[in-house]
Amino acid sequence: MAQEEAGKSNAGTKLVIRNIGTLLSGDLQRPILDADTVVAKDGRIAAIGREKELDTESASRVIDANGMTVSPGLIDSHVHPVAGDWTPRQNQIGWIDSCLHGGVTTMISAGEVHMPGRPKDVLGVKAMAITAQRAFAALRPSGVKVLAGAPVIEHGMEEEDFRTLAEAGVRLLGEVGLGSVKDGPTARQMVAWARKHGIQSTIHTGGPSIPGSSLIDKDVVMAADADVIGHINGGHTALPDVQIRALCEESPRAMEIVHNGNERAALITLRTAKELKQLHRVILGTDAPAGSGVQPLGILRVIAALSSVGELPAEIAFCFATGNTARMRNLDGGLIEAGRAADFVFLDAPQHSAGKTALESVRLGDLPGIGMVIIDGEVKSERSRNTPPATRLPKVVK
């Protein structure tokens, strides 16, 4: 619904972004594109290449990137929204808008678990999930796409419940293990029912995070076989190293590294994924709002940590928060490809960084400065109020 409304608002528009210094694709196979210009029509990418080779005439909006790095919009694979841009977990208003200023253009709910008085009966679970799905489909806080409506499974749910949820538009399960279902066999049955009806699942991994949650260890994660191993580096408490490695080696599912987790465990996951040559399975989230708060620059911070301490090219780390997540989550953004959503982040080295470009600064552990964020071809923010100031800024020519 929200996507259709965005398409209508962008009907007949043509956006040209030129003078791009470095264009990140989000694709692990070719993370940097040989291009300096992107053309978007009606909120979707239409062409990528050199300016002299593209049709840039009759543009309704022209942006000079001024030599900056342009990335696909960042995707936060693990958030816990509740109502609009307010979180009762920290009684904070505007947290999604703050994350927009950290380059995040899409968020994926891992369950609306912070809802005060969250219902735990089957009917209430379904009603709340459908309400969240409907509400965030109709509302984009500050333009950010929030994919919500992620029920936490409870004992008593049957296949018919997952079928009716899917028919109502629910496409996600909240973290398995945050409800009453905590054993592998029961979780596996419900995850299978969800998958049969087109609902993607995530499982809590590690020690308890909120009152009512429990330890979910390697054996339960393997038995449940959810589509995403949620916060494999703990949210916040990580599993023992041997269990993390076993999950990487024995499960084919997505390995989600989050900001609100154990940094050492994140590096163990990264090293194991590299050894296995399975970096395509690594996706990133914040696991916010949480007890540790909201981290508007959380995705950038994880990218910088994995690149600098994990000794990974920065352009590869950006893929974890863009193309990898888009493909794992079946999203239409996250990659600079024709036909994809025109979601972009303009990045540059922060002022006075030892790195001369956005990628160099990230490789050294600095956070890049953000100069602009575009969602579905529309400018949603200019100079970030949260990142260090970028050395260069884009210019709106038209």
CA distance 2 to 24: 26
CA distance 317 to 334: 13
Nearest to 348 by CA among 318, 369, 373, 319: 369
What is the mean predicted confidence (pLDDT) over 342-357? 98
pLDDT in tens, 283-299: 999 999 998 899 999 99
List the CATH number of the domain containing 26.
2.30.40.10
Residue 397 has pLDDT above 90, yes or no: yes
Residue 191 in domain: yes
Sheet holding 104-109, edge to edge: 74-79, 104-109, 145-147
CA distance 326 to 123: 31
Residue 209 in domain: yes
Task: Give the pLDDT confidence score for residue 211 in this predicted structure.
Answer: 67
Higher-confidence position of 9 and 240: 240
Among 296, 321, 343, identify where a domain stops. 296
Domain count, the chain: 2
List the CATH number of the domain containing 102.
3.20.20.140
Answer whether 0.85 is exceeded by the pTM: yes
Q: Say if residue 142 is in the same domain as residue 83.
A: yes
Nearest to 150 by CA among 104, 118, 182: 118
Residue 330 in domain: no
Distances (CA, A) of 389 to 147, 275, 393: 30, 36, 9
CA distance 293 to 273: 29
pLDDT in tens, 119-137: 999 999 999 999 999 999 9
Residue 110 in domain: yes
Q: Say if residue 288 is in the same domain as residue 152.
A: yes
Residue 189 in domain: yes
Among 276, 296, 316, identify where a domain stops. 296
CA distance 110 to 175: 6
User: Whole-number mean pLDDT of the chain?
Assistant: 96
Largest CA distance in the chain: 62
CA distance 104 to 297: 9
Cβ atoms 347, 75 nearer than 8 A: no
Percentage of the chain exceeding pLDDT 70: 97
**Helix or strand or coil: residue 297?**
coil
Structural domain containing residue 40: 2-72+335-396
- Six token digits for residue 230: 């949620």
CA distance 63 to 351: 22
Residue 248 has pLDDT above 90, yes or no: yes
Q: Say if residue 115 is in the same domain as residue 132.
A: yes
